[in-house]
Structure formats: structure tokens, C-alpha cells
Amino acid sequence: RLDSLPHNHHHHHHHHPTNVMMNEEETLKLPHQQHHPSIVPPLAPTIMHSATSNNNNTNKRVTHDTRTVVIEIPNEAKRRKVSTSITTKQVIDAISTAIREEDRRDALSAAATAFDHNLTSLHDEELSLGADTILIKHFGFLLSQKVIYSDALSMTSVAHETSCTMEALEMVLRASPTKVSESFSKFGRGLLAMLIHVINEEVADRNSSSIMGTTTTTTSSSSTTTTTSTTASNNSNTKTSANTSTVDPDAPPTTVVVESSPASSCGSNSPILPPAFPDNGLVASLLQTGGGTSGSSTSATPAPPPHSLREGDVLIRKATRILGHFARVGAATQPMAYFPGLLPCLVGLLLGNTNSNGTTTTTPNMIPPEVCLNSLWILANLACNSENMVMMACQPQLVPALVTMASREISTCSSSDSNDQHQHHHIPSPEMAVDVFRSQSIASRALVNLSWAPQNRIPLSENSDLLKALANLSIQRGSPFYNNSRTIQELIRSSRRHAVGTLRNLASAVGRRCKLQLCQYENGLLLDRLTDAALNDPDEENVKTKAFGCILHLAHQDTAELMVGRPALVLALKDALLSSSSSNTSNSNAERNADASKALRVLERSILPHMDSYSTLKELLEEVHPSCASLVSGDDEESATPTSTPPLMSSSMNNSNTLLQPPRASMYVDEEGNAIPAEAL
């Protein structure tokens, strides 16, 4: 084939860019020509063309003057994929064999780099190779180091290494629920004990530093005031300012204040006592400090350095996130809920930053907002298990803590200057707004889970603070700020849906006492809020449907007169019944029509002609269907007398189609029984 090509006696001293470099032994030599520039010998299979980047067989045509040679370029060898198992194995071996502090830090740094991703399959491989086991062993080793060393430098170093270890452990637990379940079955109880110890110790250190800082600040302020009064007695303004600084309503208090929480289910207003926690006793009460007074910078016991506070934030953030990874596994929810000290620990984190009025403190030692959201999320997922609902509702301070978080409000005014008696309004930050509305959404979700258990409905319905929070959330349709935010609107919508669903569960309790108590609460406040939701809520598929279901459950012989005496509620029932003839034939509309029809039937059997609301109900029946007027005209005395018990749907526990269903696979749990995470954590 080479002999058939025309010979070219012109020698070119440059090389064509497509020529492939070969060894001298592989160069073809022709009789009349050596190193012909336009002839490229066939490529050996082991020689790769340096100018191609595709993986398919391609024909490259090289043209020189009038001669053309077609070169067949073989497949380019595929780039060898980096073996993640080898890399993970090396990281695990480095952590397990590192002895010196520098080597341990380097190994943890490499682990954070290798494990920081969101690929579930790779995290499954990491768990299969034992990354969780090595990290938990290292975590236990570091906890023992904290007991051995007592100097500040060593403690800071150990705290930093502990936070890095927990950060890497949280990364590898981003695996599939099956793998996380296997990890929990191997070392779950031991890890839970270590995490609870770390959280309790960190919060106790924050509270103790707050107490020391407050005491020192008060002493320094008193000494400064005394010195000022003896050396500058002629300055009355200075003395007045120093003497009234402790009673300024806008200034933070200078003494430790144990805040009271919302009233319990029994209606008492006594302050909440800190629950007994294992391991140093986590103080659940709120501690406020006056951090802005003079003399605090020269105290003998300074506040902890900023880096230690950051390390502590990382510790409790990662600890709660690890607990959250376990809480999304259905098989782990019951062991976690019954583990000693876990629920009190989570409740203490919720109450750590909250005042009695539902606002959040801004002290330097406050619990990070992310930790509070993680704790709420864990409690909501644990409440998905029907075996945990009754026990969790009986846990001291758990329901009040959830009510407090569901009642949070955005602070719209800030403290003004000390010489100005007016407060200046400001727009809260988007982070604060999202934090508040997300707290309301997750807390209301936990409450609707707890209210599903029939044993919890009557005790929860007697909690006035809970009813107030649900009444407020049921009509919350916007924010004073950020109304255009889709995230905030979705959080508000979910809070309304969970609040009305909780009221629907409470109204389905067996017995008339609970229904009468709900209708009489605050002179019918719940009836008014449910009527508003049934008439005006934009979420027709969920909130409106649940509102009509709640009205149906509240309809009873003892509550009929209270309900018919509210014209707006009667109007809502009429609109639902008349809407059945419209073109809207959706399932939710049909369900609302059925609930309104059943509620109206209960009302017409309970209202007698001598009652004041008799005429109102008669007009309603005539407008809905003229033939129904004879039912209340007094001709049919059997239907008007309350001798027989009406078929109340709300009293039947078998009527599951009108009750808010428990967390099933389509709502909170997947096909394998694993709990699905809450929105946006």
C-alpha cells in the first residue's frame, strides 16, 4: 500500500501536528524517501493519539497538497475511576492508627474532606467499611481525654478535635435509612449516652458561665456606682443614671431570672422547675445576664473565649443532627424515645432560649437556633410512632415546650436609646422570620402527631395555652413582612394545616364534656376560628376540609345551640351544601359537603322549637332544601324530641374516614417504615 503512493522528493523540515511520535525502531524507511512527512504509519494498539479526546472510533483525514491519507484512530483508553473504597479505607486506617495529636488532626481533616458530600451510595460504602465504628471509638477516646486533662489549653484542643470527630460522623450518617438502621443496631445505645452527656455538659457550662458573668457584673457595677458617688457627688445626672440602671425596662436584668413557662395542662401558673437530667444536670430554665454594664471587662472570672463558644456550638449542632439521622429510621424511634435522659435533654434545649412570653433571648451563651429546630424535628419524628405518643405526652414539660415554640412571634421593635422613651420598629431579618415560622410548623406537626392517640385527646383539650396557640395558628395566613417569600408562605400554610388537624383530633374525643369545653373556650373562640378557616382559607384541599371535619366532630346535642347561634358558622354549612351542585366535583369538595350534611343532621335533631336558634336553623334548611323544612316544623315530634341518641359521627371511634389519620407511609414514613425528615432542616 505504501508503494502505490506517489513519491515526493521535496523534503519538509516541519512535522505535521497529527503525526504520532515513534521510536527509531518503529520508523518506516522507504527506498527513495526517509521520514516522509505526509505518510503516517499505522498506530500500534499501545500508542495513544495525543490530539483526540473522543472515545469512539473516528477517521481523521490528513491532507497535504493533493494527497490524502486516512488514519484510523483507535479507542482512547478510558480514564481510570478513582476507587472511593480505597480512599475511604485509607482515611479510616489513618484515624485508627493515628497516635500523635497532629496525626489525629490530619486524619480528621482528611475525613471531613472525603465524607463531605450528599451521595447516599458513597455514604453506604463508607458505613460498610466501618467509618462509623472508627469515628465512634475515636469519639469515646476523646471523651476520656477530657477527664484526664484539666488545663485550659488541652481542654480547648480536645474540644476542637471532638467537634471535628462529630462533624465527620454526621457526614457518614447521611446514608440510606437501611444502613443507618444497621449502625444504630450496633452501637446506638452507647452513642446516645455519649451524645446526651456532651449536650448536657455543654449547656451546663453555658449556664454556669452566665451565672458567673452575671454575679461579677453585678458586683462590678455596685463598686463603680459607689466610687462614682464618693468622687463625683456634684454630678447628679451620673448618680441618677447609675442608680436607675438596674430598673430600666429596656435594659437586660442584672440578676439571674428563672422564667416561668406556659401553664400546664392542669391550668397552674407556677414557674417551671428545671427537670432532673443525668450527667451534670442540664438546666432547662432560662438564665438572663446583663452583659452591657461597666466593669464586666475587668472581672476576675472572664467569659469563655469566643473560640470555645464556637466549638461548643459545633458540638451541640452536630450532636442533634446525629440524633436526627437516627430519628428518621422507623425502627429506632421507640428505643430513642424510651432512652433515659433523651427527651429531657431535647426539652431543655427548647426551653433554653425562650422567655415566658414566647420571645427568644439574645444572650451570648444562647442555644443556636439550628439546635432548637433539630430538637423539634427529632421530637416530631419520635411522635410519629404510636407506641411513643402517650409516653411523650406525659413527659414533664414536653407539651409546654412544644406550645411555647408554636407560640413564637417575630419581635417587631428593638430597644431604643436609654435617653429616648420611644421604641423604633424595625424589619426582622429573613433568617429570624424563617426560624420563627419553621419552629411553628415543626412544633404544630409534633402536636398533631401526639393528638392522634385517643388517650391524649382529653388531656390536651384541657390545656388552655395549647388551645390558644392552635387558635392563632389556624388563621395565620401571612407575615407582617416577607409576604412574597414562597418559603415563608409554605411554612405558614403547613402550620395552619397542622393546627386545624390537631383541633380536629381533639374534637373527636369520646364524650360530650370535651366537645362542650372546646366550644365554650373563650366564649366560642375556636368556633369562630374554625368558621373563618372554613369560609376564607385559601388552602381548600387541606385546611378547609379539616375545618369542616372539626365542625362535624363538635356537633353534639349539648353544643348544637352554641353552634347554630353563630350565623357565620351556619353560613359556612350552607355554602358547603350548596357548592355540591356547582361544577367543582373534587374529592375535597365532596368531603366537605358530606361533613356539612352530617353536621346539619345532628343539629336539626338537637334543636327544639322552644330554643332561640330554632328559627335560624329552619331558615337554613329551607334555603338548602325546601323539603327539609318539615323536619323542624314541629309536625314530626319523634324527630324533634331528644329521647333517642342521634347518630353522632364524632362519637364513633370506628369512623376513621373523618379522623386525621396517623402518620402513614404517604405522610411521614416510607415503604420500609422509616420516618421521612421534616421540611427544610
CA dist 274 and 285 (Å) reads 6
DSSP annotation of 453 reads S
Identify the residue with better confidence: 352 or 90: 90
- Does 268 have pLDDT greater than 80? no
Helix 464-474 with 486-507: angle, nearest 10 deg: 130
The three grid cell numbers given for residue 255, joined into one nine-digit string = 440578676
The three grid cell numbers given for residue 33, joined into one nine-digit string = 524517501
- Does 444 have pLDDT greater than 90? yes
DSSP code string of 255-308: S------S--TT---PPPPPPP-SSS----S-----TTSTTGGG-SSPPPPHHH
C-alpha pair distances (Å), 114 with each of 89, 137, 251: 11, 19, 48
* 326 located within any domain: no
- The Cβ of residue 490 has, within 10 Å, a number of other Cβ atoms equal to 14
pLDDT band of residue 255 (cuts 50, 70, 90) is: very low
Check whether residue 75 and residue 90 sit in a common domain.
no
Identify the residue with better confidence: 191 or 62: 191
Q: What is the pLDDT of residue 358?
A: 52
The three grid cell numbers given for residue 133, joined into one nine-digit string = 465504628
- Does 653 have pLDDT greater than 90? no
Answer for the pair 382, 392: CB distance below 8 angstroms, yes or no: yes
Q: How far is CA 554 from the centre of its chain?
A: 32
pLDDT in tens, 604-645: 888 888 887 787 777 777 776 644 444 433 333 333 323 232
Give the domain-ending residue among 47, 79, 111.
79
Average pLDDT over residues 297-321: 65
Answer for the pair 228, 238: CB distance below 8 angstroms, yes or no: yes
Identify the residue with better confidence: 285 or 19: 19
| Residue in this structure with the C-alpha cell 376560628, named with its chain if needed | 529
- Does 17 have pLDDT greater than 80? no
Biggest CA-to-CA distance, the chain: 128
Check whether residue 74 and residue 108 sit in a common domain.
no
Paired strand residues for 70: 61
| Residue in this structure with the C-alpha cell 476520656, named with its chain if needed | 144
- Does 12 have pLDDT greater than 80? no
pLDDT band of residue 75 (cuts 50, 70, 90) is: low
Comparing 118-127, 191-200, 662-671, which segment has the lowest mean pLDDT? 662-671
Check whether residue 102 and residue 73 sit in a common domain.
no
CA proximity to 138, closest of 167, 180, 174, 173: 167
Check whether residue 49 and residue 23 sit in a common domain.
yes
The three grid cell numbers given for residue 367, joined into one nine-digit string = 442555644
Q: How far is CA 210 from the centre of its chain?
A: 28
Contacts for 581 with CB less than 8 Å, ≥ 6 apart: none
Q: What is the pLDDT of residue 92?
A: 93
Check whether residue 71 and residue 120 sit in a common domain.
no
Rounded to 5 degrees, what are φ and ψ at 63? -115, 135
pLDDT in tens, 460-519: 999 999 999 999 999 999 887 887 889 999 999 999 999 999 999 999 998 889 999 999
Give the domain-ending residue among 115, 144, 175.
175
Proportion of the chain above pLDDT 70, given as a percent: 59
User: Burial, 368: exposed, middle or buried (Cβ in 10 Å; 0-12, 13-18, 19+)?
Assistant: middle
Region at 58 (left for phi over 0; alpha for psi -120 to 50; beta for the rest)? beta
User: Burial, 11: exposed, middle or buried (Cβ in 10 Å; 0-12, 13-18, 19+)?
Assistant: exposed
How many residues are given for the chain?
681
Check whether residue 94 and residue 147 sit in a common domain.
yes
Check whether residue 68 and residue 123 sit in a common domain.
no
Answer for the pair 346, 284: CB distance below 8 angstroms, yes or no: no
Answer for the pair 139, 165: CB distance below 8 angstroms, yes or no: yes
CA proximity to 516, closest of 557, 456, 546: 557
- Does 554 have pLDDT greater than 70? yes
Answer for the pair 409, 481: CB distance below 8 angstroms, yes or no: no
Proportion of the chain above pLDDT 90, given as a percent: 43
Q: What is the pLDDT of residue 38?
A: 41
Average pLDDT over residues 581-592: 71
Identify the residue with better confidence: 585 or 613: 613
How high does pLDDT run on average in the chain? 71
The three grid cell numbers given for residue 392, joined into one nine-digit string = 411523650
Check whether residue 38 and residue 112 sit in a common domain.
no
C-alpha pair distances (Å), 338 with each of 60, 284, 387, 392, 460: 71, 20, 10, 9, 21
Q: What is the pLDDT of residue 128?
A: 95
Range of the domain at 68: 1-79
Q: What is the pLDDT of residue 66?
A: 52
* 517 located within any domain: no
CA dist 544 and 552 (Å) reads 13
pLDDT band of residue 86 (cuts 50, 70, 90) is: low
Answer for the pair 201, 279: CB distance below 8 angstroms, yes or no: yes
The three grid cell numbers given for residue 400, joined into one nine-digit string = 409546654
Answer for the pair 259, 355: CB distance below 8 angstroms, yes or no: yes
* 627 located within any domain: no
CA dist 196 and 381 (Å) reads 18
Answer for the pair 609, 632: CB distance below 8 angstroms, yes or no: yes
Comparing 114-118, 152-156, 378-382, which segment has the lowest mean pLDDT? 152-156
Check whether residue 170 and residue 121 sit in a common domain.
yes
pLDDT in tens, 397-420: 999 999 999 999 886 444 444 444
* 187 located within any domain: no
pLDDT band of residue 360 (cuts 50, 70, 90) is: low
Q: What is the pLDDT of residue 453?
A: 96
* 320 located within any domain: no
Q: What is the pLDDT of residue 550?
A: 97
* 3-state class (DSSP) for residue 583: coil
Check whether residue 88 and residue 163 sit in a common domain.
yes
| Angle in degrees, CA 387, 389, 391, rounded to 5 | 85
Q: What is the pLDDT of residue 406?
A: 96
Q: What is the pLDDT of residue 74?
A: 53
Average pLDDT over residues 521-550: 94
Q: What is the pLDDT of residue 149?
A: 77
Check whether residue 67 and residue 135 sit in a common domain.
no
Q: SS3 helix, strand, coil % of the chain, rounded to 5?
A: 55, 5, 40
Comparing 67-81, 347-361, 371-385, which segment has the lowest mean pLDDT? 67-81
pLDDT in tens, 424-440: 456 788 888 999 999 99
Answer for the pair 667, 673: CB distance below 8 angstroms, yes or no: no
Average pLDDT over residues 437-464: 96
Alpha helices by DSSP H, listed for 290-426, are 306-327, 333-337, 342-351, 369-382, 386-394, 398-406
Q: What is the pLDDT of residue 260?
A: 31
Strands 424-425 and 67-73 turn out to be unpaired
Q: What is the pLDDT of residue 411?
A: 64
Q: What is the pLDDT of residue 186?
A: 94
The three grid cell numbers given for residue 244, joined into one nine-digit string = 436607675
Q: How many domains does the chain have?
A: 2
Answer for the pair 515, 558: CB distance below 8 angstroms, yes or no: yes
Q: What is the pLDDT of residue 23?
A: 45
Q: What is the pLDDT of residue 379?
A: 97
The top-scoring range by mean pLDDT among 26-30, 396-400, 412-416, 647-651 is 396-400
Q: What is the pLDDT of residue 624?
A: 65
Give the domain-ending residue among 62, 79, 96.
79
The three grid cell numbers given for residue 355, joined into one nine-digit string = 422567655
Q: Which residues of 588-627 are buried (b: 16+ CB within 10 A; e: fewer)?
A: bbebbbbbbebbbbbbbbbbeeeeebbebbbebbeebeee
Q: What is the pLDDT of residue 353?
A: 73
* 144 located within any domain: yes
The three grid cell numbers given for residue 479, joined into one nine-digit string = 407575615
C-alpha pair distances (Å), 27 with each of 24, 33, 67, 74, 459: 5, 12, 20, 19, 94
Comparing 77-86, 122-131, 332-341, 527-536, which segment has the lowest mean pLDDT? 77-86
Q: What is the pLDDT of residue 309?
A: 64
Check whether residue 28 and residue 63 sit in a common domain.
yes
